[in-house]
């Protein structure tokens, strides 16, 4: 069974030549590099991994792309592009021509993004990504309804909602409090171009492994979106457990997940959704 992790961050040390962006969330003080990720993937039985440059690394994609070039069958990249940067519109058209690049990822969970989305200031981005076949993943906790409007206006744009639509590592809320948004998330299932990354589930749990309360929320998401639009993943540097336990939570602890559906959720559906067909 192909296992492809939908999100892992790698980053370099904080140096004058490559300073971390001030005020951004640091997963851990010791940076995580591609070689360490590969070792951990091998231990956990994970074949592929989507690298997402963290916000502390500004909008640099170079580390992740270098890892994908060196290990094309193991790493793909959902990269960052500042929509206000000069030439951003033109870059979208050729975005996936970068070796290893699968699409775009945005952290739209800060207050300024709520108005940006509501006022349609990024309509050009959705237009260009739809035309170029560039999928977009986003953490947009407070803008789910607007994301639904975007999905409806751009049916050819593949949108993916990150971290079960929770706040990922930016919240200390657990279990039911962390998942109060669930009805808004499930309402997006009516858009066939919207999928969900089931990343970070253990991090929302107030219970030990195998996180029974979070299993119930995963079941609701699966029932709404189906196996072709729900993707397993970890966001491993923020998880309270091992990579292997992130795997077995899905492969061994969800009796309602049949073998055919499990193959899709654990990797095949993700690779199809983001067009990851490269071989090493």
| Per-residue confidence (pLDDT) for residue 167, from 0 to 100 | 65
Banded model confidence at residue 132, pLDDT cuts 50, 70, 90? very high
The rounded distance, in Å, linking the Cα atoms of 242 and 240 is: 7
State pTM to two decimals: 0.94
Q: Is pLDDT of 28 > 90?
A: no
Task: Map tokens 């076949």 to a residue.
Answer: 133
| Predicted pLDDT at 173 | 74
Closest-CA residue to 234 (of 207, 271, 197)? 197
Q: Which two tokens stand for residue 18?
A: 């490559």
pLDDT at 103: 98
Whether residue 169 is predicted with pLDDT greater than 60 in this model: the reply is no
Is the alpha carbon torsion for 79, 47, 28, 209 positive or negative? positive
* Lowest model confidence (mean pLDDT) among 108-122, 135-149, 160-174: 160-174
Percent of the chain with pLDDT over 90: 76
The pLDDT of residue 279 is 57
Res. 153: pLDDT tops 80: yes
Give, rounded to a whole angstrom, the gap between the first and last alpha carbons of the chain. 18
Question: Tokens for 257?
Answer: 């997940």
CA atoms within 13 A on the CB side of 131: 12
| Spatial distance between the Cα atoms of 248 and 230, rounded to a whole number of angstroms | 16
Q: What is the mean pLDDT of the chain?
A: 93
Q: State the pLDDT at residue 181.
A: 86
Q: In the structure, what pLDDT confidence band is assigned to residue 174 with cuts at 50, 70 and 90?
A: confident
User: Which residues contact residue 23 at a Cβ distance below 8 angstroms, ignoring those fewer than 6 apart?
Assistant: none
Pair 235, 8: CB distance under 8 Å: yes
pLDDT over 70 at 26, yes or no = no
Alpha carbons 59 and 20: distance in angstroms, whole number: 11
User: What are the pLDDT digits (tens) for 100-128?
Assistant: 999 999 988 877 888 899 899 999 999 99
pLDDT digits (tens, 9 = 90+) for 181-231: 899 999 999 999 999 999 999 999 999 999 999 999 999 999 999 999 999
What's the rounded mean pLDDT across residues 256-275?
98
pLDDT score at 110: 77
State whether CATH 3.20.20.140 applies to domain 4-273.
yes
> What's the pLDDT band for 280 if we cut at 50, 70, 90?
very low
- The DSSP code sequence of the chain is ---EEEEE-------SSSPPPTT---S-SS---HHHHHHHHHHHT--EEEE---GGGTT--HHHHHHHHH-TTTEEEEE---TTSTTHHHHHHTGGGSTTEEEEEEE--SHHHHHHHHTTTTHHHHHHHHHHT--EEEE-TT-HHHHHHHHHH-TTS-EEE-GGGS-GGG----HHHHTTTHHHHHHGGGSTTEEEEE-SGGGG-SS-TT-HHHHHHHHHHHHHH-TTSEEE---GGG-SS-HHHHHHHHHTT-TTS-HHHHHIIIIIHHHHHTT-----
Most confident region among 83-87, 138-142, 157-161, 181-185 by mean pLDDT:
157-161
């Amino acid at each position: 069974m192909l296992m492809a992790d939908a999100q892992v961050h790698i980053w370099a040390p904080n140096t004058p030549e490559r300073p971390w962006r001030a005020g951004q969330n640091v997963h851990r003080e010791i940076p995580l590099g591609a070689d360490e990720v590969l070792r951990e993937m091998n231990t956990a039985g994970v074949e592929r991994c989507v690298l997402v440059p963290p916000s502390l690394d500004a909008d640099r994609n170079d580390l992740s792309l270098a890892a994908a070039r060196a290990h094309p069958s193991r790493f793909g990249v959902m990269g960052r592009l500042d929509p206000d940067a000069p030439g951003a519109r033109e870059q979208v058209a050729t975005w996936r021509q970068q070796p290893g690049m699968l699409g775009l990822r945005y952290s739209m969970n800060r207050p300024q993004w709520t108005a940006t989305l509501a006022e349609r200031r990024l309509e050009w981005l959705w237009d260009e990504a739809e035309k170029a076949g560039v999928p977009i993943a986003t953490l947009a906790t407070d803008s789910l309804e607007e994301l639904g409007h975007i999905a409806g206006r751009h049916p050819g744009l593949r949108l993916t909602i990150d971290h079960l639509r929770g706040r990922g590592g930016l919240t200390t809320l657990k279990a039911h409090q962390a998942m109060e948004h669930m009805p808004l998330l499930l309402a997006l299932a009516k858009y066939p171009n919207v999928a969900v990354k089931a990343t970070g589930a253990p991090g929302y749990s107030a219970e030990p492994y195998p996180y029974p309360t979070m299993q119930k929320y995963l079941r609701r998401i699966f029932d709404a979106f189906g196996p072709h639009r729900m993707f397993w993943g970890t966001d491993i540097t923020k998880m309270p457990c091992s990579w292997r336990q992130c795997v077995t939570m899905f492969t061994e602890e969800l009796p309602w997940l049949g073998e055919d559906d499990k193959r899709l959720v654990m990797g095949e559906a993700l690779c199809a959704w983001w067009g990851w067909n490269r071989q090493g």
